Structure 1
Amino acid sequence: MDTIKNAANFVGDKVQSATSGASKETNKEVAKDSNAGVGTRLQAAGDAVSDKASESKHDSKAEAHKQAATH
């Protein structure tokens, strides 16, 4: 039963990581857009940093769930 739970958590964390990664890339593009206002660009840059942290956190959690499911 724990293996199934860990496998489900692994999938959930991988999805959340992918979502954060996509958001990070979008925010990076907004931050680079010279047509966007300074405030918008600064907000997007901050959001990209936050998304990167979230992406890394979910990748780490996914790896831990993967290891737990295989052992």
Structure 2
Amino acid sequence: MDTIKNTVNYVTESIQGAGSTASKEANKNVAKDSNASISTRAQAAGDAIGDKFDEQAHDRKADVHREAAKH
């Protein structure tokens, strides 16, 4: 039962990590857009940093669940 739970948690964290990656990339593109206002670009840059932290956290959690599912 624990193996199934860890597998589900691994998939969930992997999906959330992918979502954070997509959001980070979108925010990076907005931050680089010279047609956007300075405040919009600054906000997007800050959001991209937050998304990067979220991405890393989800990836770490996914790795833990993947390893736990192996045992």
* Aligned counterpart, 2:10: 10
Aligned pairs for 1:41-56 within 5 A? 41-56=41-56
Q: What fraction of aligned residue pairs are identical, expressed as a percent?
A: 61
How far did residue 12 of structure 1 move? 0.1
* Aligned counterpart, 1:60: 60
Structure 2: runs of 5 or more not aligned = none
How many residues of Structure 1 are paired with residues of Structure 2 in the alignment? Answer: 71
Measured in 2, the distance between the counterparts of 1:4 and 1:39 equals 46
How far did residue 17 of structure 1 move? 0.2
How far did residue 23 of structure 1 move? 0.2
**TM value normalised by structure 1:** 0.99
1:40 aligned onto 2:40: yes
1:29 aligned onto 2:29: yes
How far did residue 15 of structure 1 move? 0.2
**TM value normalised by structure 2:** 0.99
Amino acid in structure 1 at the alignment position of 2:19: T
Q: After the TM superposition, list the runs of 4 or more consecutive aligned residues in structure 1 that deviate by more than 6 angstroms.
A: none
How far did residue 48 of structure 1 move? 0.2
